[in-house]
Amino acid sequence: MPEGKEKKDRGWTEVHQEECKGCGLCVESCPVCGMRLSDRLNGQGYHFGEYQGHGCTGCGVCFYACPEPGAITVYKN
């Protein structure tokens, strides 16, 4: 990649915090390491998954790995 050129994200992920049970499957499945478990807790006392803000390819692997319906939404640019 030419110097000074940043690779643009091809998507982003939104985790619906109160739906997340903190299992970490989204974190483990992300091929670009764009997810992590938050230091904060949701209303149920779980460290919820969160998008780190960069690197997303919009592949949707985190969405498919998540056992909680509706907890993760993936957007593509």
Our count of domains for the chain comes to: 1
Q: Tell me the residue range of the domain where 49 lies.
A: 15-76
Determine the Cα angle at 25 with ends 44 and 11, to 5°. Answer: 100
In a domain, 4, yes or no: no
* Gyration radius (Cα) of the chain, Å: 13
In a domain, 64, yes or no: yes
The answer, as to whether pTM is greater than 0.85, is no
In a domain, 50, yes or no: yes
CATH number of the domain residue 39 falls in: 3.30.70.3270
In a domain, 40, yes or no: yes
What does each of the 77 residues of the chain score in pLDDT, given as a tens digit? Answer: 445 555 678 999 999 999 999 999 999 999 999 999 999 999 999 999 999 989 999 999 999 999 999 999 999 98
**Residues 6+ away with beta carbon under 8 Å from 43:** 18
In a domain, 41, yes or no: yes
In a domain, 10, yes or no: no
Query: Hey, which bits of 1-77 come out as E strands?
Result: 11-15, 35-41, 47-51, 72-76
In a domain, 2, yes or no: no
